[in-house]
Amino acid sequence: MSRKTETRHGGAVDDGVQLSRRKFLEFASASPLLAPQIASTIAGLSVLGTSEALAQSYDVLRAAPVMNGDLIANPSQALNVFDFEPVAKNALPPAHYGYLASGVDADKTLQANRDGFDKIAIRTRRLIDVRKIDTSVKIFGETWGSPIALAPVSSVGAFNSEAEAAAARACKAKGHQMILSTVGSTSIEDCIKERGAPIWYMLYPTDDWAVTQLLVARAEMAGAPAIVLTVDRQGGRNTETLFRDRRGDTRTCTDCHTPGFANEVSRKPMFDNIDVSKVTNLYGTGMTWDYVKRLRSIVKGKLVLKGIVTHEDAKTALDYGVDAIIVSNHGGRAEESLQSTIGVLPEIVTAVNGKIPVLIDGGFRRGTDVLKALALGATAVCIGRPYIWGLAAFGQPGVEMVLTLMQREFETIMRQVGATKLAEINGASVTRV
């Protein structure tokens, strides 16, 4: 009877098998017919004593950098975008982090955005040549290298002194589009300069039409191809997480924040040289569809509505000449509806019936999230918090790594569903759980 040898995984193999394996490996290592990579992979089998190694040996060193403590020390140590959040929290004042982290009320809609992805499963396909894939998408005649874009975020200077300029440089380096907020910390001219290409402009219209006109004119003169009107901030909001975190901030907030609209936007460059004396609110809380019609009459380029979450409003948007829709609940910070954006996406897509692009934001953290949205009919996806985590943690390199990780994950899942281009990602790529 042959003797048994225990493996590191607790199993046992015959000594004869071990000898045969060793002889085969010696032959393989010496053979000029086997590429060094193949020999290395096969050698991994003897190390682990299991066929698992065949799939894993290529990435065994991926997490090699040593970490001190639980926080990553540089962007290269991140395994996913979630690794940046605790670093950002550690770097930011409590109130600034609270502003970034807050949803509304009990933050249940914020959580619903994430939970919505768990209700969608991905259908993988086999034996398709996916060595070469194309992730580009054309929107309004412009080709984006990736369907992942940066969503507008307000007051980005609160998270990093280089603000949107650093994000724009990251977009240039990694090949992504971005949308600048009206109350961003960087001017649209500087963002376009740093990105080296036009960006979209998200409009908070205020309740003074003269101010609205000046904001639109400046953005279009700078080269913005699309004006994105945000329509989901008209009802007000109760940002409890922000209020709670602010209690622990020992700074004197009035050193930077003083009452009155003029003071509120005094550090927002898009309002430079604009008379805001008649403005009482940023969001244009009296907006109706007639306002969209009026805006449509002055926007020379494309007009996009951000914040549409029902098929009724999507159909009406078509009637008013809107060129695209962004399905959004402001990252779960517009209202406590408990509706995830990925959950309502199909009804929006059905309503527009391919007539205009449908973009989406809200809770996107993984490449698999992106694929699920595209499979349900989205044209592109916007991310907000993840890139701000990266920016707050490490500046431009952090944003670049966030984009790298999400793009890498997206390309991986594209290959696993057998898609070589975005048009091959469709309803057959997913199923409801």
363 is in an annotated binding site: yes
Q: What is the DSSP string of 22-54?
A: HHHHHHHHH-TTS-HHHHHHHHHHHHHTSTHHH
Ligand-binding site membership of 181 (annotated):
yes
Whole-Å CA distances, 38 to 44, 58, 62, 344: 10, 10, 19, 47
Q: How is residue 276 written in tokens?
A: 């805001």
Active site (annotated) includes residue 9: no
CB 344 within 8 A of CB 310: yes
Q: How far apart are CA 28 and CA 43, in angstroms?
A: 9
Beta strands 302-308 and 226-230 are parallel
Of 176, 257, 311, 330, the active-site residue reads 330
In angstroms, the CA 94 to CA 294 distance is: 41
Determine the residue type at 272: D
**Does 20 show up as a binding residue in the annotation?**
no
366 is in an annotated binding site: no
142-144 and 200-203: which strand pairing?
unpaired
283 is in an annotated binding site: no
306 annotated as belonging to a binding site for a ligand: yes
Tell me if 384 is assigned to a ligand binding site.
Answer: yes
The answer to the question of whether 243 is labelled as a binding residue is: no
Residues facing 257 on adjacent strands: none
Q: Supply φ then ψ for residue 391, to 5 degrees.
A: -65, -45
Tell me: is residue 432 an annotated ligand-binding position: no
Please state the residue numbers annotated as binding site for glyoxylate.
99, 204, 330, 333
Please state the residue numbers annotated as binding site for FMN.
181, 230, 306, 328, 361-365, 384-385
Please state the residue numbers annotated as binding site.
99, 181, 204, 230, 306, 328, 330, 333, 361-365, 384-385
Please identify every residue annotated as catalytic: 330
